[in-house]
């Protein structure tokens, strides 16, 4: 993030604002591993507000063998999984100083798939915290390739498990 962007968010502190998160840090936070890890890098994270994460879609992904031979298309459920994993990363950083650390996704609403994602695409997952009431969280999630929105959903989660 540039210093101009930081000036636009005067309430953000150094602890709450991160420029990037590499794969090593992601692997420390998420329990997912190959072939089910759907986030390659976090480009921008403002704790308690928003995350932008990246997934490079490669023909080497194992699901392309069967989905579909001769016309590879990333399964929608895996695009949705990328949005959920991005939301988990956002919540993990947002809850870092609280006594609750575990997150269980409890619902997904208003899912729309708008365009196929194919090998060679770079997909961005943007997840924004919409509402938090005690242990219940609602987030808006979007997946884009270039300037085109390829999927969107509302994600619900329950925060639990004390440290």
Instruction: Please list the active-site residues.
Output: 67
- CA 3, CA 14: separation in Å to the nearest integer? 12
The residues near 138 (Cβ < 8 Å, ≥ 6 apart) are: 129, 130, 131, 132, 154, 155, 156
DSSP 81-95: HHHHHHHHHHHHHHS
The residues near 126 (Cβ < 8 Å, ≥ 6 apart) are: 50, 51, 52, 86, 141, 142, 143, 144
- CA 38, CA 130: separation in Å to the nearest integer? 22
How many residues are listed for the chain in this entry? 163
């Amino acid at each position: 993030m540039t210093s101009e962007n930081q000036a636009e968010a005067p309430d953000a502190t150094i602890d709450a604002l991160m420029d990037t998160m590499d794969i090593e840090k992601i692997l420390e936070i998420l329990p997912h591993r190959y072939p089910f890890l759907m986030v390659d890098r976090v480009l921008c994270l403002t704790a308690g507000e928003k995350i932008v994460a990246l997934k490079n879609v490669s023909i080497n992904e194992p699901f392309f063998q069967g989905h579909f031979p001769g016309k590879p298309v990333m399964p929608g459920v895996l695009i949705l999984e990328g949005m959920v994993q991005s939301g988990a990363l956002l919540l993990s950083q947002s809850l870092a100083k609280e006594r609750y650390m575990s997150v269980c996704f409890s619902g997904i609403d208003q899912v729309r798939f708008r365009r196929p994602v194919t090998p060679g695409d770079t997909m961005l997952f943007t997840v924004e915290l919409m509402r938090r009431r005690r242990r219940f969280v609602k987030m808006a999630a979007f997946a884009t390739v270039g300037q085109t929105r390829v999927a969107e959903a509302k994600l619900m989660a329950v925060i639990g498990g004390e440290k």
